[in-house]
Structure 1
Amino acid sequence: MNSEWKWVRCDEFIDFNPKETLKKGTISKKVAMENVLPHQKYVNSYTIDKYNGGSKFRNNDVLFARITPCLENGKTSQINFLEENEIGFGSTEFIILRNKDNISDISYIYYLAISNIFRNQAIKSMTGTSGRQRVQIDSLKSLEIKIPPLTIQKKISAIFSNIDNKIEVNKKINKNFIYQLLKHLILQTLILVIMYLVIYLMTLFL
């Protein structure tokens, strides 16, 4: 099985900043850096704005923050809210990662992008003034990694995706539990306040 894996440069496996056309002034969905939450697989918020420049992407593309401290903080997420053939745009501080047909799986690329081997290479390549350092994309393109065949990539990414999905379900359950608990506590507190108020008013008229 391991003999099927092969060494490749990342730019043979990943399409970096793929070219897309979006006319200036076009109203489209925009993802700013603050819309990407640390260590969250999918971008869960966006705004509607006029395109005046920035990175461009399609559904399923991976947004990889290239500036400090956003990269170190884990701002790497996947797009899942665009329609087919719809183009969105975002911060110039994103490197866009896309799969190559019949070569790579986009979910596998996402998990590669959040791995230490990819992140450490990106962080080591950073240059610029303190506080505004940026990843050198050529360093990522030339990074050599060992990859499995496409079918195995999909199997591996499916396992990780299932784990992520279960984590998200648990988060929603926990949020709902906390909400219900708080609602119950507030209701009980309100009932007690009303009871004390009624008792107090009764003492005034007795």
Structure 2
Amino acid sequence: MSEWRTIRAADFIDFNPRLNLKKGAITTKVAMDKLKPFTKKIPETEKAEFNGGAKFCNGDTVMARITPCLENGKTAYVDMLDDGEIGFGSTEFIVMRAKAGISDPQFVYYTAINPTFRNVAIKSMVGSSGRQRIQQSVLEELELSVPGLDEQRRIGAFLAELDEKIALNNKINDNLAA
């Protein structure tokens, strides 16, 4: 077991990292309405022409930045793209990427769905009623308590395995109900 340390979120997570995707490119799109509340997997995508929006790749976490989607738990882990593919989605996503050698992609996802992280995001929202958005700068300055990279990988893998078992159980239940 490793020592945990306190680190600023911006030193642990790349927020909205830059990716190059040419306008007009046909690639995978994730619409906000396709994310299911409190569900890791992205259940449905479409191929569409890129004309703007948040860009992401496998291993990234996408989190809704707008009300009520954030409060409803719309945060997902990107793992359905082809190798090397860049996908895109709503401009209302914050994309979070693990920093090489510092953070683990799975652990970043589980950090993003942690109630403490989510509550800070929700409380930071500003704007007119019904159109409030997260202040990303507040998230970037958030102090996180994190283990070393090896421990992050173990924790992330363990939680991912639990999520897979829950998803399988839900699928079995859906089949039984049909």
**TM-based fold match above 0.5:** yes
The match for 1:81 is: 80
Cα RMSD (Å):
1.0
> Which has more helix, going by share of residues?
1
- Aligned residues between the structures: 178
Aligned residue type for 1:75? K
State the alpha-carbon separation in 1 of the partners of residues 51 and 168 from structure 2.
37
The match for 2:104 is: 105
Give the secondary-structure state (helix, strand or coil) at the position aligned to 2:48: strand
Residues 12-23 of structure 1 aligned to structure 2 (within 5 Å): 12-23=11-22
Aligned residue type for 2:68? P
Give the secondary-structure state (helix, strand or coil) at the position aligned to 1:156: helix
Aligned residue type for 1:84? D
The match for 1:131 is: 130
Per-residue CA deviation, residues 24-75 of structure 1 (Å, 9 max, x unaligned), is: 1111111110111101001111111111100000012111000000000000
Given the two structures, how large is their TM-score scaled by the length of structure 2? 0.97
Aligned residue type for 1:169? L
Q: Which has the higher contact order (CA 8 A, sep 6+)?
A: 2
Which runs of no fewer than 5 residues in structure 1 stay unpaired? 180-206
State the alpha-carbon separation in 2 of the partners of residues 44 and 111 from structure 1.
18
The match for 2:44 is: 45
Give the secondary-structure state (helix, strand or coil) at the position aligned to 1:45: coil
Aligned residue type for 2:14? D
Given the two structures, how large is their TM-score scaled by the length of structure 1? 0.84
Give the secondary-structure state (helix, strand or coil) at the position aligned to 1:145: strand
Which runs of no fewer than 5 residues in structure 2 stay unpaired? none
Residues 117-128 of structure 1 aligned to structure 2 (within 5 Å): 117-128=116-127
Give the secondary-structure state (helix, strand or coil) at the position aligned to 2:21: coil
For the pair 1:26 / 2:25, whether they are aligned, the reply is yes
Aligned residue type for 1:70? C
State the alpha-carbon separation in 2 of the partners of residues 118 and 110 from structure 1.
11
State the alpha-carbon separation in 2 of the partners of residues 176 and 78 from structure 1.
25
Shift of the alpha carbon at 1:80?
1.3
The match for 1:140 is: 139
Per-residue CA deviation, residues 103-151 of structure 1 (Å, 9 max, x unaligned), is: 1011111111011111011011100000000001000000001110001
State the alpha-carbon separation in 2 of the partners of residues 84 and 14 from structure 1.
22
Per-residue CA deviation, residues 9-30 of structure 1 (Å, 9 max, x unaligned), is: 0010001101001111111111
Give the secondary-structure state (helix, strand or coil) at the position aligned to 1:167: helix
Larger radius of gyration: 1
The match for 2:171 is: 172
